[in-house]
Copies of this chain bind each other. A is one copy, B any other.
Amino acid sequence: MPASPHPFDPLVPKEIEKAAQVVRSKFAGQDINFRVITLKEPPKEEMIKFLDLEHAKQPFHNIPARIARVEIVTKTTSGASALFELHIDLGHGSISKQQLLEGKHSYIDSSYMNDVEKACMANQEIQDEIKKLDLPAGASVIVEPWAYATDGMNDMSKRITMCWFYLRLVEHQDANYYAYPIEICAEVSEELQVTRVYKLPCSPDERIHTESRPFDRRKIHSTTSSEYHPDLRPSPRTTTKPYRVIQPDGPSFKTRGNLVEWEKWSFRVGFNYREGLTLHDIRYDDRSLFYRLSLAEMFVPYGDPRVPYPRKAAFDLGNDGAGLNANNLKLGCDCLGTIKYFDGWHNTKSGEPLKLPNVICCHEQDDGILWKHTNFRTGNAVVTRSRILVLQTIITVSNYEYIFAFHFGQDASISYEVRATGILSTVPMDFDEKATIPYGTRVAPGVLAPYHQHIFCLRIDPSIDGQKNSVVIEESEPMPFGDPNVHNPFGVGYQTKSKYVAHEGGFDLDFTKNRTFKFVNEDKINPITNTPVGFKLMPFYSQMLLANKDSFHAKRSEYGQHAVWVTKYREDEFFPSGKYTMQSMGGEGIASAIKHRAASGKAPSVRNEDVVIWHSFGSTHNPRIEDWPVMPSEKMMVALKPVNFFLGNPGLDIAASTQEDNKSVLYTEGSEVPKCAASRL
**Chain A, 649-679, contact with B by CB distance < 8 Å: what is the 0/1 string?**
1111111111111111111011111100101
Contact flag A679-B151 (CB < 8 Å), given A339-B666, A625-B528: no
Which residue on chain B has the smallest CB distance to residue A338? B665
A60 is an interface residue with CB less than 8 A from chain B? no
Across the interface, do A173 and B375 meet the contact criterion of CB distance under 8 Å? yes
A436 is an interface residue with CB less than 8 A from chain B? yes
Determine the distance from Cα of A339 to Cα of B369 in the docked complex, in whole angstroms.
15
Determine the distance from Cα of A102 to Cα of B313 in the docked complex, in whole angstroms.
66
Across the interface, do B332 and A657 meet the contact criterion of CB distance under 8 Å? yes
Q: Which of A591-613 contact B (CB under 8 A)?
A: none
Determine the distance from Cα of A625 to Cα of B665 in the docked complex, in whole angstroms.
37
Which residue on chain B has the smallest CB distance to residue A681? B330
Determine the distance from Cα of A345 to Cα of B225 in the docked complex, in whole angstroms.
47
Residues of B within 8 A of A512 (CB): 508, 543-544
Q: Which of A531-576 contact B (CB under 8 A)?
A: 531, 541-544, 546-548, 550-554
A97 is an interface residue with CB less than 8 A from chain B? no
Residues of B within 8 A of A333 (CB): 381, 383, 656-659, 662, 681
The 9 closest A-B CB pairs, nearest first, are A305-B493, A332-B659, A491-B548, A491-B551, A411-B632, A236-B655, A310-B490, A340-B667, A303-B494
A495 is an interface residue with CB less than 8 A from chain B? yes
A431 is an interface residue with CB less than 8 A from chain B? no
A246 is an interface residue with CB less than 8 A from chain B? yes
| Surface stretch bound by B, among A23-31, A191-199, A394-402, A456-464 | A394-402
Across the interface, do B491 and A550 meet the contact criterion of CB distance under 8 Å? yes
A442 is an interface residue with CB less than 8 A from chain B? yes
Q: Taking the full assembly, how many copies of this chain does it contain?
A: 2
Neighbour of A496 across the interface among B451, B530, B679, CB < 8 A: B451
Contact flag A244-B248 (CB < 8 Å), given A664-B331, A665-B337: yes
Determine the distance from Cα of A382 to Cα of B333 in the docked complex, in whole angstroms.
9
A sample of 15 more A-B contacts (CB under 8 A), given A237-B653, A494-B547, is A233-B653, A236-B653, A255-B667, A303-B494, A327-B381, A336-B385, A337-B664, A369-B421, A411-B632, A412-B626, A439-B495, A481-B550, A492-B547, A492-B552, A629-B649
Residues of B within 8 A of A651 (CB): 632
Determine the distance from Cα of A62 to Cα of B410 in the docked complex, in whole angstroms.
55
Neighbour of A383 across the interface among B334, B398, B550, CB < 8 A: B334
Determine the distance from Cα of A450 to Cα of B648 in the docked complex, in whole angstroms.
16
Residues of B within 8 A of A659 (CB): 330-333
Across the interface, do A649 and B662 meet the contact criterion of CB distance under 8 Å? no
| Surface stretch bound by B, among A2-10, A86-94, A471-479 | A471-479
A131 is an interface residue with CB less than 8 A from chain B? no
Residues of B within 8 A of A286 (CB): none
Across the interface, do A492 and B301 meet the contact criterion of CB distance under 8 Å? yes
Residues of B within 8 A of A633 (CB): 368-371, 386, 411
Across the interface, do B657 and A644 meet the contact criterion of CB distance under 8 Å? no
Contact flag A337-B476 (CB < 8 Å), given A626-B642, A649-B632: no
Across the interface, do B387 and A243 meet the contact criterion of CB distance under 8 Å? yes
A217 is an interface residue with CB less than 8 A from chain B? no
Across the interface, do A373 and B386 meet the contact criterion of CB distance under 8 Å? no
Across the interface, do A373 and B396 meet the contact criterion of CB distance under 8 Å? yes
Q: Which of A476-508 contact B (CB under 8 A)?
A: 476-479, 481, 487-496, 508
A17 is an interface residue with CB less than 8 A from chain B? no
Residues of B within 8 A of A642 (CB): 624, 626
Across the interface, do A229 and B493 meet the contact criterion of CB distance under 8 Å? no
Contact flag A553-B305 (CB < 8 Å), given A241-B249, A380-B173, A478-B546: no
**Chain A, 144-173, contact with B by CB distance < 8 Å: what is the 0/1 string?**
000000011000000000000000000001
Contact flag A624-B643 (CB < 8 Å), given A304-B493, A307-B489, A369-B403: yes
Determine the distance from Cα of A244 to Cα of B385 in the docked complex, in whole angstroms.
12
Contact flag A340-B669 (CB < 8 Å), given A243-B245, A489-B305, A630-B649: yes
Contact flag A366-B241 (CB < 8 Å), given A305-B490, A492-B310: no
**Chain A, 432-444, contact with B by CB distance < 8 Å: what is the 0/1 string?**
0011101101111
Q: Which of A152, A263, A490 has the most CB of B within 10 A?
A: A490
Across the interface, do B251 and A674 meet the contact criterion of CB distance under 8 Å? yes
Neighbour of A476 across the interface among B403, B444, B496, B620, CB < 8 A: B620
Across the interface, do B237 and A654 meet the contact criterion of CB distance under 8 Å? yes
A228 is an interface residue with CB less than 8 A from chain B? yes
A79 is an interface residue with CB less than 8 A from chain B? no
Determine the distance from Cα of A368 to Cα of B492 in the docked complex, in whole angstroms.
43
Determine the distance from Cα of A383 to Cα of B422 in the docked complex, in whole angstroms.
10
- Closest-CB distance, A102 to chain B (whole angstroms): 26
